[in-house]
Every structure is written in C-alpha cells, then in structure tokens.
Structure 1
Amino acid sequence: MEYAACSHKGGDLATVRRRAAAFLDNLSGEESRGPVARQSWIIKWTKIGEEQCRVGDLKAGKGDSNEAAEARLCALTAFEVARRLLDENDPQCGEVTAKIEAGIQCLEVALAKVERVKIASCDYTELLAYYVPAGNDRLPTPAVICISMEDESETTLLARLLPAVIDRGMSLLVVSHRDVSNPAWGLSQALLSSCLDYLSARPGVDAARIGVYGEGMSAALATDFAASDRRLAAVVCDGGLWNWTRMRASVGWMTGVADAPEQGRVTAHRTQLMRRLRCPVLVVTGGRGFVSVSEAMKLQTECIEERIDLDLAMPRMIKSSGGCIENFVTLDDCIFGWLKQKLAFSAAPSSEPKDLPDIRSQVLGP
C-alpha cells in the first residue's frame, strides 16, 4: 500500500488527507494483520508527521508562515493516523499525543494561526478554549462551537479538525467536554451559551450563522444546547436519543417492566423534542458513538413526516487486528461539508440549498 505523503512538495495538505483516507479505507487488508505490520505503519505515519514538521520549520525560517502552517497541518493529520493505530495503553500513544500538542502550540505561538482565549462563564469563572479565526470586520464568516468527546482534550480535537476546516471559510471555537459538562440542570447549556455570546461578539463572526458540534457524550450536550438556545443555525448532535434511551431504561428499572413503551408514545416524545430544535440537525450514528443506526433511522423517518430538517451521517469503520478504526478524514469532511452548506443556507433562506459534497454516501438523507 502506498503511504508516502508527497513530502517533497512540503505542505501539500490535500494530498496528505487524500492518502490518509485511502490508507484507512484499505487498512483491513494484508497490511493490518499482525502486530509487526501494524507497528510498521505506526512508525511510517509518525515519520511522515515528523518530516512535515521539519518542512514547516524550514518554511517558517524563510518567512513563509502560510506554507509553514500548511506543513504543520499535514503533520497533525499524519500523527492522528498514527494515534488511531495505537492501542490507548501503548506508551507510544503518549509520545504521539505530545507531538500533536507541540504542533498546536507551534500554530498558536510561532505562526499565530490559533488563539487561546478565555470566556467569561455563567458562574463567574473563566473557560479556556481555542479560537481559530476565519473572517474579518469587512467579511464575517460562519462559526462552529466544537465540544470534544468525554475522554479527549480540546487540543486533541482541534488538532484533528483544523486540517479539515482550514479552507472552508468558518471560524472554530473548540472546548473540552470536561469544562462544559455539569450535572446541575441547565448549567451546561448556560456554559455553552457563554461560548455563543463570545463568538457573537467577535468582529469576524456572523452572529446569525453559528453552529455547534458535539462528539460522543457531548452530542447529547449539543442537543440540549440547541433546544435551549434558538440563536444556533445548525447542530451536529444525537437528536435526543441518549436522553431518551436513559429515560426509558430508568422507567423500566423503577417499574420492573422490561417491555418497550408503546410506539406512539415513543414517536410523540421524540417529535416533541425535535420540534424544539429550530435549526437543521445532523446526527452521527454508529462508529465510536452511542447512537445506534436503527434508532437514528427511526428518528429520521419521524422527522421526515414532521418536515423537520434532519440528516444522518455514518462513519466508515475499518475492521483490523486491533479492532475497528474510524476513517476520521472522510467523516470530518462529511460533517463540515454539511455545516458549511447549512450555515451558508441559513443566511440566504430564499435560495436553493447546494448539493452536499461527494462523501461516499456518508450522509444518509431521506
């Protein structure tokens, strides 16, 4: 399998991402069978990342900050491939994570492409986040609040998403699940509303075109946030499926009745929640998340009948000797292609929506 990332071309981000996606799609073949082969690919993708870091340093030394930044983005993609191949208990995982964090620090400090910002929260504390600007005073752009999975930091999420978003004309505000999740009723929504307030006040952001994207358990936070704050123009979330599943399990435990609730009541409950989401919705189903494909498809059918704008996205999972690995490159392109379309359309409701990009049927429409 071809793995070289055209390092002789320096920061060729499109090439690196295309080859990373192709590599992950073909990982179930001969190359992934056995720990020796797997270790070989980890080493090779780590070396690709290290070489792109050297290219970035060289470009920065010549004063070309844009090419230096692009090489660093290539490195982040390569390191993320290596990280996905590693077992989370492998000592190398910490080493690769350290390289990813160093890459973000370089983009922040040396190349000034990323900002570390403080947001005044509802409980009078300060919330730390990463901000990636895309617009300016004369040309404000859409923006997306991105919430990490419960077991990942905001730095790890930013490092994965930044190469996918850098040329899409949208700003990012990236926060950690740990910082915005709170068991107290309504507090998580209030914290995320503080993030929305922050973005709305930024000169380069179009306050009418702000979305939110939550991963893992943060997808449930994104649902509750979108239901409570109608300023949002698009949401990538769980469609309320986690809270509904948890509530149904609690009722079954308290009543001792194992049978599922009557279907009409299930549909009515879901529809009631979805009506509170007054913006387009994308539900990511399957993969590492907790939203089942069957439940998500039932939800979509109900939304079609109610004329609610809901799409589904299913990540491509590759089976290998180390378990299932998600093709994060294709999925991120899918999600942010959808966000770009919906946030652009929200500013011009009289125009026809554009077709979604070719993403190998990752978005499952009606």
Structure 2
Amino acid sequence: MDGAAWPQVRGDLSSTRWGAAAFLNNLEAACTSISRSEWAIRWTNIGDAHRLLGDTNIEKGYFDEAAEDWLCALTAFEVARRLACEHDPEGAGVPAKINTVIQKVGARQQKIERVLIDCCDQVEIVAHYWPANGHSSAAPAIICISTEEEPATTLIGRLLPVVMDRGMSVLVVANSDVSNARRGQSDMFLSCCVDYLASRSDIDAARIGIYGDGSSAAMATDFAASDGRIAAAVCDGGLWNLARMLASVDWITGTTDVPDEEVVSARRLRSLRRLRCPILVVAGGRGIVSASEAMKLLRDGAAAPIDLQLAIPQMIATDGGEVENFVTSDDRIFGWLEHKLVLNSPSNHC
C-alpha cells in the first residue's frame, strides 16, 4: 500500500497519476493506520518535491522534464486538496501552491492566456485559454465550466495533466461568472465563448465541445441543446431540470404521489432529443446526477438514435466523507472527448 501511496519523485507523469489513482482506490484501507489529514500532508510534500525537481531541471535547461515535473506536482496537490478536511490547516496553503505551479507551467510551455470575452450590455467574461500542445493546424477545443464551489484556477490545475497531450485546446470559465448572469443569459454568455474560439485560427470551429464539472453539468446540457455548434457535451442529460420540474409539480399540487414512470421516461427522452451531439453523462460522486437516474436515462436513450454514454466516478468512503478518484474519472471524461473530437475527426481518416 505504501508503495502505491508514495510514488517515487522522478518527474514521470504517468507513474505519478497511476500512483495517485491506486492510492485513492485504497484510501479507506490507508486511513485505518494513517489519518486522512496526515495523508494530505504527505501528498503535499510529494507535490513540493515535484515542484522543486522542476525548478532544478529549469536551472539545468531541461525544459521538457521540468514541465512534466510540474504536472506531477499539480496531480499530487490535487490529491492533497481533496484529502484535506474542511477548516483543516494542512490544506489551507494548497490552492496557492497550485496557482504557483500553473504559472510555472504557463511560463515554459504554451502560455495560459487570460482572455476577456465580450458579451452584450458591456459585460465581459474572464476566461483562461490553454492551446493544444504541439499542434500546427486547427485543433478541437473544450469549454470547461468549473463546479459551483471552486474557482476556475482549481479546475485548470486539475485538468492540465489530463489534457496536455490529447490534442485539444481548453477554455476554462468559472461557474460564478456564468451563473450570476440574469435569467436566460447564461447560454448567451457561453455562446460568446464559442464565438471567441471559432474566431481563433488555431481552433477548428466544427469541433468545439463543452464540459460542465459537477454542478455545472446542467448548464452544459442547456447550452448544448441551445447551440448547434457544440460537437460533444459532458453534461447531465437534462436530469437536473427534470428533477426540479417534478419537485415543482409536487409542490404546486400538494401531493407526494410517485409519478407515473412511463410519463417520466417520456420526459427524459424528450430532454435527450434536444441534444444533437454525442453526450457523456457523469453520475454519482460530487455531481448532481444519481447513478440510478443516469441508468434510467441510458435505458430510455437506447430507444432513440442518441449517442449517449455514462461515466460513474469511483467514490471512496472515509471518516471525513467520501473522496472521488478524480484521476480515473478525468481520464475517462477527456479520453471520451478525445475520441469524439480528435480521433474521429475527418483529418484522421484521410
């Protein structure tokens, strides 16, 4: 167990991520002998060691090795951030460490651009753009919306090690920037993000996807249904809006009767048919979709020509609450996006 939980600090990203995934899979057993807070400290130390190794490699002129060291650090710090319990002083400094490493990566690799996206009424969205690694031609792009509780930089730090070599550019926006808009404007704001990406010469406008992290999955569904330019969506498949609608009906009618399953199934299918692109629904874990409802959605979707797949992150129970194995979950999500937008592109079938 200790071997999986304490990977060697050698700048090998695949080994670091494998070690992080193995540790999280066995977290419940690991916490029987060492506290969750202590593990948070250990993974913070692993991140610090990778960061310092990257700094040393920069001094030696080993730029590629330094970049991989820093990506390892981001993975380790994300493990530590998730292990640190609320109000736990051991985790208070981790977000600042993540921001520092993001700046180091951006200074030596493709620059992480801070862009202002113009919308109506003289409103601007602040977004962060990361270009595809090593692409000389127009690449696909993913609009990533952070979950409600986290800033955009937290999502950037988590995703950089995942997207680095997948041939996709990423535009990250904060949930708060989009959801705080007046009613009906969230889709318009995201449409402006698509406009921005489509205007860039390094982006293939026909291969733009959207990913709603956690509570932003419903927002991703609504936008993918409203904007036909979206080529793939990681979202909730309309389940959150359906649940709210059913709850409203119960409240208005003053009944607590179990709704007719055939009626609910028809509404699920109606929501799915609004989506004209392949979709991946992430269920369970910290998300807003239960695994049981997602399975019903998958069943209903089988009755229509809809490209629908389901991903259920592994959750590990500890005394401090459940922890998601974000490593395997993110690999699944962005592997799916890569398959839909990169590997299935016309240029790869010539």
- TM-score tier after normalising by the smaller chain length: over 0.9
Question: Superposition pairs for residues 1-366 of structure 1, below 5 Å?
Answer: 1-2=2-3, 3-7=5-9, 9=10, 11-29=11-29, 31-33=30-32, 37-109=35-107, 111-134=109-132, 138-182=136-180, 184-344=182-342, 347-348=345-346
1:162 CA drift (Å):
0.9
Q: Residues 110 and 133 of structure 2 are in contact (CA less than 8 Å); yes or no, is this contact kept in structure 1?
A: no
**Distance in structure 2 (CA, Å) of the matches to 1:263 and 1:38:** 42
**Distance in structure 2 (CA, Å) of the matches to 1:238 and 1:138:** 34
Q: Residues 217 and 288 of structure 2 are in contact (CA less than 8 Å); yes or no, is this contact kept in structure 1?
A: no
Alignment CA distance shift 1:118-1:63 (3 Å)? farther
**Distance in structure 1 (CA, Å) of the matches to 2:36 and 2:230:** 42
**Distance in structure 2 (CA, Å) of the matches to 1:33 and 1:158:** 32
**Distance in structure 2 (CA, Å) of the matches to 1:349 and 1:251:** 49
1:107 CA drift (Å):
2.1
Alignment CA distance shift 1:113-1:6 (3 Å)? farther
Root mean square deviation of aligned Cα: 1.9
Q: Aligned letter for 1:19?
A: G
CA deviations on 1:66-124 (whole Å, 9 max, x unpaired) are 22221111101001111111112212222111111111122234555422222112332
**Distance in structure 2 (CA, Å) of the matches to 1:66 and 1:127:** 32
1:193 CA drift (Å):
0.7
Q: Residues 122 and 194 of structure 1 are in contact (CA less than 8 Å); yes or no, is this contact kept in structure 2?
A: no
CA deviations on 1:330-360 (whole Å, 9 max, x unpaired) are 0000000111111136534997xxxxxxxxx
Bigger mean CA offset, 249-258 vs 112-121: 112-121
CA deviations on 1:275-320 (whole Å, 9 max, x unpaired) are 1110001000011112111111111111111121111100011112
**Distance in structure 2 (CA, Å) of the matches to 1:123 and 1:145:** 22
Give the gaps of 5 or more residues in structure 2: none
**Distance in structure 1 (CA, Å) of the matches to 2:14 and 2:343:** 26
Q: Aligned letter for 1:316?
A: Q
Give the gaps of 5 or more residues in structure 1: 352-366
Return the TM-score normalized by structure 1.
Answer: 0.90
Equivalent residue, structure 2, for 1:364: none
**Distance in structure 2 (CA, Å) of the matches to 1:163 and 1:345:** 19
Alignment CA distance shift 1:138-1:121 (3 Å)? same
Q: Aligned letter for 1:250?
A: S
Return the TM-score normalized by structure 2.
Answer: 0.94
1:19 partner SS: helix
**Distance in structure 2 (CA, Å) of the matches to 1:127 and 1:94:** 28
2:27 partner SS: coil
1:261 CA drift (Å):
2.9
Q: Residues 33 and 321 of structure 1 are in contact (CA less than 8 Å); yes or no, is this contact kept in structure 2?
A: no
Bigger mean CA offset, 89-98 vs 153-162: 89-98
Q: Aligned letter for 2:24?
A: L
**Distance in structure 2 (CA, Å) of the matches to 1:240 and 1:183:** 20
1:233 partner SS: strand
1:49 CA drift (Å):
0.6
Q: Residues 136 and 204 of structure 1 are in contact (CA less than 8 Å); yes or no, is this contact kept in structure 2?
A: no
**Distance in structure 2 (CA, Å) of the matches to 1:113 and 1:163:** 15
1:263 CA drift (Å):
2.5
Q: Residues 168 and 342 of structure 2 are in contact (CA less than 8 Å); yes or no, is this contact kept in structure 1?
A: no
CA deviations on 1:22-41 (whole Å, 9 max, x unpaired) are 01111111x2026x532332
Alignment CA distance shift 1:298-1:145 (3 Å)? same
**Distance in structure 1 (CA, Å) of the matches to 2:278 and 2:131:** 23
Q: Residues 236 and 281 of structure 2 are in contact (CA less than 8 Å); yes or no, is this contact kept in structure 1?
A: yes
1:173 partner SS: strand
Alignment CA distance shift 1:345-1:79 (3 Å)? closer
Q: Residues 147 and 218 of structure 1 are in contact (CA less than 8 Å); yes or no, is this contact kept in structure 2?
A: yes
Q: How many residues align?
A: 347
Q: Aligned letter for 1:20?
A: A
CA deviations on 1:125-172 (whole Å, 9 max, x unpaired) are 221111110167842211111100100000001101110111111111
